[in-house]
Amino acid sequence: MKKFIYAISALAVMMAVGCSKEDVETPSPEYKLVVNMDKPSFGDDTRAVRTSWENGDVVYVVFDGDLYDGATAAKYLTLTYNNSSWTPTWVGTNIDEVAAKETKTLCAVYVNTPVTPDFWNNGQNLSFESATQGVYTMACEDGIYTVSDSTITLNIALEHECSQITVRGIDVAGNWTLSCNELQALLGASVSNSNGAGGSAGNFNDSLAGFANADGVSFYGYYPAATSPSNLTFTLTNGTKTYTRSFTDKGGLKAGYAIIMDGPDSGKWTEVVEE
């Protein structure tokens, strides 16, 4: 009798185990994220725009299909630079959704000041606007990513959207701004369904905010052409004093280019005196 009960009990356990195997679903893989972030090429010009990443830098990534007409919720990934690596934060989406997409494409943007993500143009554009006029931006319009086993690899090659003008002999605490007849201020960056990714430009002669630089103060502006202009007029002001300086037959305003010039104390600027 005892043997019979034991046999029945053992059979029941086997049946229960068999049922449990049929009911258990295969778990989704826990994906590991790998980021390949290519810095723009600077050649041999050590004065060029931004030669390295700094802790706290943020790159915003939008994946294919996450922008559409009438979108009401932003979907993107923030990558924050921290001690030679990128820390991911998912907004409105997750790594599983991105892994499941059929088209493995992405756009990415960088802005050097805090930004506010927002939809516009009936949800076809996701903008990353700054409260500062004349920010420094980079963009990647045609990035790709791959999914292999449990690893997602993002391949992001950023390109400069602006040029850098550095003025020696002045301090960022002086609240200097710069404008130029051939430069537009960048207000941030955006990702679009139709135009990929890029900077959000203002107008020519817009005032550009100043950012601290080891050589003085740097200003960033956008020149919307493939070739550099030849005649430039810069206006430098701190609200109290205003100076101008002009160049003829000079280039150097294409995206990624850097210019360094001496400040007003050099005598190379003309002070504007109001009558």
* pLDDT for position 271: 96
Output DSSP code: residue 47: T
How many Å is the Cα radius of gyration of the chain? 27
152 vs 40, higher pLDDT: 152
Q: Using CA atoms, how far apart are residues 241 and 127, in angstroms rounded to an integer?
A: 35
Give the Å distances, CA to CA, from 61 to 24, 72, 96, 155, 156: 35, 18, 15, 11, 9
Q: Using CA atoms, how far apart are residues 219 and 266, in angstroms rounded to an integer?
A: 19
Q: Calculate mean pLDDT across residues 179-207.
A: 88
Over 90: is that where the pLDDT of 86 sits?
yes
* pLDDT for position 114: 93
* pLDDT for position 35: 96
Q: Using CA atoms, how far apart are residues 275 and 32, in angstroms rounded to an integer?
A: 66
CB 31 within 8 A of CB 153: no
Point out which residues pair with 143 in neighbouring strands.
106
Cβ neighbours of residue 33 closer than 8 Å, sequence gap 6 or more:
88, 95, 151, 152, 154
pTM score, whole prediction: 0.83
Give the Å distances, CA to CA, from 271 to 172, 274, 275: 19, 10, 12
Residue count (the chain): 275
Summarize pLDDT for 198-223 with one digit per residue, the tens.
888 888 999 999 999 888 999 999 98
* Residue % of the chain over a pLDDT of 70: 81
User: Which of 170, 190, 67 is CA-nearest to residue 127?
Assistant: 190
4-22 in b/e form (b: 16+ CB < 10 A) is eeeeeeeeeeeeeeeeeee
218 vs 14, higher pLDDT: 218
User: Which of 39, 72, 35 is CA-nearest to residue 154?
Assistant: 35
User: Which of 45, 64, 53, 56 is CA-nearest to residue 158?
Assistant: 53
Count other Cβ atoms within 10 Å, centred on residue 121.
14
CB 31 within 8 A of CB 96: yes
